[in-house]
């Protein structure tokens, strides 16, 4: 009896191993399952990133509307690309900084906006420029689309320096731009001259009178130009002057406010593109302003036609279209294949167009 029990125990202790063929079949099945699941996982991740991008635009749109409630106008886009924001410049025409800088206080970034403030607007000191360097070098996560690149620091390699900032080594970049309408000016320079020889800020209203371009049609030149910067236009975010919501007679829900700007895939991490060689803290420029003159394009589109579309359009890393926040704070996606006439109309504030 005992011998029979030992035989049964020995027989039960014997375990059959997998053969090589069975092991290969299991590995193949696992590989197939992973291949089937990977697109779903990637799609879920992209959906989450797109949702975060949408939320960024929503928050910036609400900040702009809160500024409008406080100041009586939407954020304007400053003087020109050689000027960064000035904490003592307020929100009117004396503020050289662009729309990103102007909404900081309304995005819980007021302390960043206040860097370098000394209560004296008329003079620029070395201490102020050093503090402004910290500001322009700061990366703000809200200003990045997570589908494109993460919030980080990117080298400042531009040949020209800021007028009111100690030259930075790095910059905080941005993936969004304000809608400045359908009238792309063609070229943008630094705007007004450098600060006065005594380190004083230029008197902006004097330059507005001196730089009106009388060759422009009357309805365009009524606000004039600041150097080579068009301060009129037909969009909701222009240079120097903030637009009142009452001027948006085409309807705030139909007019684009901020959207994703086009950046070619190979330009994400460098600064060789003129529309991606600065950061978020600067005045009116193609880095922070775009136009609806040409339809949007995906970042995968190399834009080889060699004209102003390379740096004046909106675009995105998302499939299908570009996300925008409208002037009423609502967010929607504009298809890449949108009718150009409809898209152009959505860029204007008072064109009177009827669009579907």
Closest CA to 255 of 179, 339, 333: 179
Least confident of 68-77, 122-131, 147-156: 147-156
In the chain, where does DSSP find H-type helix? Answer: 2-13, 20-71, 99-103, 110-113, 126-136, 204-210, 218-221, 309-312, 340-346
* Between 62 and 264, residue with greater pLDDT: 62
Helix (H, G, I), strand (E, B) or coil at 335: strand
Q: With bands split at pLDDT 50, 70 and 90, how would you rate the model's confidence at 28?
A: confident
Q: What is the per-residue pLDDT across 199-227, written as a single tens digit (0 to 9) for each? A: 788 887 766 655 444 444 444 444 444 44
Please enumerate in sequence order all residues whose Cβ is within 8 A of that of 198, keeping only pairs 6 or more positions apart, or say none. none
Q: With bands split at pLDDT 50, 70 and 90, how would you rate the model's confidence at 307?
A: low
Q: What are phi and psi of 304, to 5 degrees?
A: -90, 5
Quick one: tokens of 302? Answer: 């190399």
Residue 230 in this model has a pLDDT that exceeds 60 = no
Q: What is the per-residue pLDDT across 133-173, written as a single tens digit (0 to 9) for each? A: 999 999 999 999 999 877 677 889 888 899 999 999 999 99
Residue range 292-320: mean pLDDT, rounded: 81
Q: What is the per-residue pLDDT across 330-345, written as a single tens digit (0 to 9) for each? A: 999 999 999 999 999 9
DSSP 44-84: HHHHHHHHHHHHHHHHHHHHHHHHHHHHSS-----S-TT--
CA-to-CA distance for 126 and 165, rounded, in angstroms?
Answer: 9
Q: Is 221 within 8 Å of 183 (Cβ atoms)?
A: no
299: exposed, middle or buried (Cβ count in 10 Å: 0-12, 13-18, 19+) = buried
* Between 84 and 189, residue with greater pLDDT: 84
CA-to-CA distance for 47 and 21, rounded, in angstroms?
Answer: 40
Please enumerate in sequence order all residues whose Cβ is within 8 A of that of 285, keeping only pairs 6 or more positions apart, or say none. 80, 81, 98, 188, 278
HEC per residue, 155-196:
ECCCCCCCCCCCCCCEEECCCEEEECCCCCCCCCCCCCCCCC
Residue 129 in this model has a pLDDT that exceeds 80 = yes
Please, what is the Cα angle at 118 between 112 and 122, to 5 degrees? 110
- What are the sequence ranges of the domains in the chain? 37-347
Residue 73 in this model has a pLDDT that exceeds 90 = yes
Q: With bands split at pLDDT 50, 70 and 90, how would you rate the model's confidence at 101?
A: very high
Question: Would the CA dihedral through 152, 289, 95, 329 be positive or negative?
Answer: negative
């Amino acid at each position: 009896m005992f011998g029979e029990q030992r035989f049964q125990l020995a027989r039960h202790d014997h375990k059959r191993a997998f053969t090589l063929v069975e092991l290969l079949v299991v590995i193949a099945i696992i590989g197939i399952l992973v291949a089937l699941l990977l697109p779903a996982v990637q799609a879920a991740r992209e959906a989450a990133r797109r949702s975060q991008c949408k939320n960024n635009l929503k928050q910036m749109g609400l900040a702009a509307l809160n500024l409008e409630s406080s100041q009586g106008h939407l954020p304007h886009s400053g003087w020109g690309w050689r000027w960064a924001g000035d904490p003592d410049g307020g929100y009117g025409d004396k503020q050289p900084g662009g729309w990103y800088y102007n909404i900081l206080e309304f995005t819980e970034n007021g302390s960043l906006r206040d860097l370098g403030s000394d209560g004296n607007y008329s003079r620029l000191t070395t201490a102020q420029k050093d503090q402004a360097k910290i500001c322009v070098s700061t990366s703000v996560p809200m200003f990045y689309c997570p589908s494109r690149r993460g919030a980080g620091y990117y080298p400042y390699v531009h040949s020209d320096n800021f007028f009111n900032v100690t030259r930075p080594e790095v910059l905080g970049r941005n993936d969004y731009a304000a809608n400045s309408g359908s009238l792309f000016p063609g070229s943008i320079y630094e705007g007004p001259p450098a600060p006065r020889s005594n380190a004083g800020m230029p008197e902006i209203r004097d330059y507005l009178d001196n730089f009106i371009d009388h060759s422009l049609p009357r309805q365009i030149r009524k606000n004039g130009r600041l150097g080579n910067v068009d301060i009129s236009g037909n969009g909701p975010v222009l240079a120097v002057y903030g637009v009142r919501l009452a001027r948006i007679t085409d309807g705030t829900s139909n007019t684009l406010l901020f959207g994703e700007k086009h950046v070619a895939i190979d330009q994400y991490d460098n600064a060789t593109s003129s529309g991606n060689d600065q950061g978020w803290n600067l005045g009116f420029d193609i880095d922070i302003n775009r136009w609806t003159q040409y339809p949007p394009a995906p970042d995968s589109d190399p834009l080889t036609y060699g004209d102003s579309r390379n740096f004046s359009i909106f675009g995105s890393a998302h499939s299908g279209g570009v996300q925008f926040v409208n002037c009423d704070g609502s967010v929607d996606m504009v298809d890449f294949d949108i009718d150009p006439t409809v898209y152009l109309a959505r860029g204007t504030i008072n064109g009177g167009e009827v669009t579907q």
